């Protein structure tokens, strides 16, 4: 029972990383979001800047989390495997 719980946590963390990367690419390639940011910038410059900053921060967080979570998890699993030998 304990081993399957660890396996499910590992799978959940890898899926979380993949979901973060998927959301990053969705936001990065979204034409609707680019159009919205352009409209917000033309409406009021401070709103447009605020939206650009918010979307930029969200994209960076998603990208870093999407890369870091699986990378750290893989390193920890490999270290445990090598240590147990």
Model-level pTM? 0.81
Q: Round the average pLDDT of the chain to a whole number and report it.
A: 88
Distance CA 1, CA 71 (A): 26
Percent of the chain with pLDDT over 70: 98
Question: Is the Cβ–Cβ distance between 14 and 73 less than 8 Å?
Answer: yes
Alpha helices, DSSP H only, in the chain? 2-28, 31-43, 45-84
Dump pLDDT digits (tens) for 34-73.
788 788 777 777 777 888 889 899 999 999 999 999 999 9
Distance CA 45, CA 42 (A): 6
Question: Is the Cβ–Cβ distance between 27 and 62 less than 8 Å?
Answer: yes
Question: Is the Cβ–Cβ distance between 20 and 83 less than 8 Å?
Answer: no
Domain spans of the chain, in order of start:
2-84
């Amino acid at each position: 029972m304990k081993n399957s719980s660890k396996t499910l946590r590992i799978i959940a963390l890898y899926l979380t990383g993949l979901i973060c990367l998927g959301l990053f690419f969705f936001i990065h390639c979204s034409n609707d979001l680019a159009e919205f940011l352009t409209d917000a910038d033309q409406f009021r410059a401070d709103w447009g800047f605020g939206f650009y900053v918010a979307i930029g921060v969200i994209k960076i967080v998603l990208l870093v989390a999407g890369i870091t979570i699986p990378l750290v998890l893989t390193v920890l699993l490999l270290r445990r495997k090598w240590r147990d030998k």
